[in-house]
Structure 1
Amino acid sequence: MPEPSQDRDSATRALLMDAARRAADYRDADAGRERPVIGYAEAVAAFDGELPARGEEPHAVLDALVRAAEPGLHSTTGPRFFGWVIGSSHPVGVAADWLTSAWGQNTANHVAAPAAAAAETVAARWLLELLRLPADASVGFVTGATMANFVGLAAARGEVLRRAGWDVAERGLFGAPPVRVVIGDEAHSTVFSALNYLGFGRESLVRVPTDAQGAIRPDAFAQALPRQGPLIVVTQAGQLNTGAFDPHDSLVPLAKARGAWVHVDGAFGLWARACPSRAALARGVELADSWATDGHKWLQTPFDCGYAIVRDGEAHRRAMTIAASYLPPVQGGERDPSHHVPELSRRARGFSTWALLRHFGRDGVAEMVERHCALARRLADRLAAEPGVAVLNDVVLNQLLVRFGADRDMAAGDAATLATIAAIQAEGTCFAGGAKWRGRWAMRVSIIGAATCAADIDRSAEAMIACWRSVASAAAQG
């Protein structure tokens, strides 16, 4: 008769293998899935019910979870999902992430999880090399660009006040010298949120006008810089809608001459530095003081993976270090993960990052960025050739803004664009969403899935054009 521990081990293995099979089945289907998903209300109904009084058998729980979840899952891991700038969770990263969950390591510090801390140390060095940022910069492994911006700006706040003779850790913010923040009008909403979390109200922000592509205008920037006081400048590498880059080679020297800390929101655009043909877009970015970027965008890691990179490691650690008597001290050249992020208990994000950097290598990341940018240009050319369709942005990276009914007045063009987006989503060949740009509705397309190829772009273009023609025909008849 088997020992209880043997039964338990056998049941665990069977459950994990069952989950792996279901996951593999889903990814196989997602590669060619063509269907709309159910909405939120229907998804709530699928999950809803009374709290069970008695627990269910594990395999039955998985059955119920898959039944409830899959109808409401967008095909974000497939090759024709263009709705947001999110990667497709590459299988190598997913496999590493499964192991991360199975290993159950809490990356609180280098003693509690030595392997997880070591993976972060090496992955951080590889990231800095790939992105061509200062080799001695410090890196915090956070949930995503929102928290990466928060960490970088927290380091900035502490350091510019320290230079002004104010210790935030000791004295807090009440009575501190006012810090001004210069930021572009088209900065991402999460940067404004991060600033708000850190106590920067709207009155402390100096918003700078941008050009037609959403990049900061150097002339307006020079005029906007305050003449005195602690100063933080926030720039952007890759505008969310257009892919445009602020002109860092002009802006950063101006900011530095004023004594500012420069923080770069490079959630996806910072990866252009890994691609020789696109690196010039981010020229001058390396002169900044901190950078934020995502792993779950162009590196294709599973979600919950971003990087806060800070040139001044001491400023980074002053802003983030969590210390207590029960936590082990750092000795020698050891790197403690909790000194670089806001969380103590957290996921071991270094494993999937390390695995994907090892899988792709420098050349693989460069090829992927180059391919996606070329595919964006291919789709733009196909759509712009269709009467009544206009591409609103200069396609410099992987982002497109597309207007349907471009030859109509604003209200009619908005209606035509929104109707075409709805038709595309209902038809199901691909997924794209809408965004308002300079007061007009447009379809926003983000090409960043690891498996996306020319055939996917051509198939999607045909579906988009067919939907537009149907909308235009219905409008003409109505």
Structure 2
Amino acid sequence: MDAPDSALWQAYGHAARWLASLSDRRVPARASVEETVRALGAELPDEPSRPADVVDLLATACEPGLTAFPGGRFYGFVIGGTEPAALAADWLVSAWDQNCVMRAVTPAYTAVEEIASAWLLDLLGLPGGSTVGFTTGATMSNFTCLATARDTVLRRAGWNTARDGLTGGPAVRVIVGEGRHTSIDLALRYLGLGEPELVAADDQGRIDPVALRHALAAGRGSPTVVVLQAGDIHSGAFDPFAETIRAARDADAWVHIDGAFGLWAAASPAHAHLTSGGADADSWATDAHKTLNVPYDCGLAIVRDPLAVRAAMGVQGDYLIQHEHGDPSDKVPELSRRGRAFTVWAALRSLGRSGVAGLVERLCRHASAFAAGIAGTEGATILNEVVFTQVCAEFGSDARTDRVLDRLLEDGTAWISGSTWHGRRVMRISVSNWSTTDDDVSRALDAIRRAADAA
């Protein structure tokens, strides 16, 4: 067998070549699932293989089937890329192989998590005493915050969920705007809370404060959670936080903000007004992989009351070495988990305060450039107010919009996906990657024009 470092060096070589290819490679994958299976080989070998050979086979067989998500010309989903310091830190996370559960066992991780948490609260303008849990992504961040909300509003109503479960307890109302992201519905389903109560939103997806007040008044006295949004998935719009949170406070409701990508607007002086009033909520969810651009598997669940999240998420066991000040595992659903805060610390330490602000502002500038370029394309219409990183456009009819999208993917210069918004087929552009350049945007716009001409 090879020494372990031979496989690592092999992986490094393939990784370096992959990263170097991103500026020029076709964005969509070139190989299908079936082609990749054939290249890998479907039969499990009887005998061991050299680790370096395994890495080489994996890299060479899979490379044609990879989509250039980390490159500057992928705009299909709000997923971001990986900032260099965070990528390197993630390699260390795998090599260090720490199960980051207990303060006493992983002091280095706990120290990094505490520092990164304080930096995050500062950058996002959130209350300094809040607790930050590092989850798998925004869906589990919403889950964590909403689990804490559920247990807290039921406790106020005299019901102990941890002891008695949900059966027989008061019904919890969860009120959301019509434009909320489907991950909220998913988290509520996981939590046994069923479908949310919908409140009208405007044409950009912003919840209507007057409609919210009416909904709250109709169920006054019931345990209630209000879910607001920082960054609509289509328009990028932000709910009016000051007015809606005031209405929720008057009804003694818990307020949660789903800010999967939009919460980072607070880190930019030019865009912080979009989150004005949001710091008065009770909990916030975001995803560091999106706007901050750290590797996958790094959501952030932020709760104002540390004791509330600890009551909802904390775990005890005779074999666990628990600390009086709490442990990383007290804030998230999992026990076994990787050191997510290492990558967040690395990204923040690398970028600094001005670098994070510059990243947010650059993404927004590129989105505005996309909107201006598409608006000048014959037959195209921009459908949203471009306030953050999202752009939605249509090309005269649903059928033509879909043809443009098909031609665009065939071209391969950029990946931009379609969606349905307000009953219309749209081209939805999400600018999320730190590495996107002015040239990347220009090349993507040229590809859009070619696709429109061909459609």
TM, length-normalised to structure 1: 0.92
Percent identity of the aligned residues? 45
d(CA) in 1 for partners of 2:142 and 2:247? 22
Q: CA deviation at 1:184?
A: 0.9
SS in structure 2 at match of 1:307: strand
Partner of 1:453: 437
The 5 A counterparts of 1:72-83 are 72-83=65-76
1:415-426 map, 5 Å = 415-426=399-410
**1:117 aligned partner:** 110
The question of whether the paired residues in 2 share the 8 Å contact of 1:32 and 1:78 is answered with no
Which residue of 292, 306, 314 maps to 1:321? 314
Q: Deviations over 1:132-156 (max 9, x none)?
A: 1000001100011000000000000
Output the CA distance in 1 between the equivalents of 2:36 and 2:421: 31
Question: Which shows bigger deviation, 438-447 or 108-117?
Answer: 108-117
Which moved further from structure 2: 24-33 or 44-53? 44-53
**Whole-angstrom CA distance in 2 between matches of 1:19 and 1:69:** 13
1:357 aligns with 2:348: yes
Give 3-state SS (helix, strand or coil) of 1:280's partner: helix
AA paired with 2:330?
Answer: H
Quick one: which amino acid aligns to residue 401 of structure 1? C
User: SS of 1:419's equivalent?
Assistant: helix
Report the equivalent of 2:371: 380
1:48 deviation in Å?
A: 4.8
Range with greater deviation from structure 2 (162-171 or 148-157): 162-171
Contact 1:425–1:431 (8 Å) recurs in 2? yes
Measured after TM superposition, the shift of residue 328 of structure 1 is: 1.1
Matched, 1:271 2:264: yes
Unaligned runs of 5+ in 2: none
Please give the alpha-carbon distance, in whole angstroms, between the structure 2 residues aligned to 1:230 and 1:274. Answer: 33
Instruction: Tell me what 2:385 maps to.
Output: 394
Q: In 2, Cα distance between the equivalents of 1:365 and 1:319?
A: 32
RMSD: 1.3
- Measure how far apart 1:14 and its partner are: 1.8
Q: Name the counterpart of 1:212.
A: 203
Residue 165 of structure 2 corresponds to residue 181 of structure 1: no
* Residue of structure 2 equivalent to 1:22: 14
SS at match of 2:256: strand
Determine helix, strand or coil for the equivalent of 2:118.
helix
Q: Which amino acid aligns with 2:18?
A: Y
Matched, 1:162 2:162: no
Q: Distance in 1 between matches of 2:38 and 2:193?
A: 40
Unmatched tracts of structure 1, length 5 or more? 1-7, 407-412, 472-478
| Moved beyond 6 Å, runs of 4+ | none
- Shift of residue 462 of structure 1? 0.9
Report Cα offsets for 1:374-420 as digits up to 9, x if no partner. Answer: 1111111111111201111110001011111x2xxxxxx11111111
In the aligned structure 2, how far is the partner of 1:175 from the partner of 1:272?
41
Q: CA deviation at 1:329?
A: 2.2
**In 1, distance between residues paired with 2:392 and 2:32?**
25
Q: CA deviation at 1:86?
A: 1.0
Question: Do structure 1's residue 436 and structure 2's residue 429 form an aligned pair?
Answer: no
Q: How many residues end up aligned between the 2 structures?
A: 452
CA 339–389 in structure 1, closer or farther in 2 if over 3 Å, else same: same
Letter in 2 for 1:236: Q
Tell me the CA shift for residue 422 of structure 1.
1.3
Residue 184 to residue 48, structure 1, CA distance change in 2 (3 Å): farther
Alignment of 1:4-403 (within 5 A): 11-37=3-29, 38-202=31-195, 205-225=196-216, 226-331=219-324, 334-403=325-394
> Which segment is superposed worse, 105-114 or 136-145?
105-114
Deviations for 1:59-91, whole angstroms, at most 9, x for unmatched residues?
A: 221121112221121111111110111111112
Task: Work out the CA distance in 2 between the residues paired with 1:42 and 1:420.
Answer: 27
Structure 2 length-normalised TM:
0.97
Which digits, 9 at most, give the CA deviation of each residue in 1:181-230, with x for residues without a partner?
1011111111110011000112xx21011101011111211111122211
Amino acid at match of 2:20: D
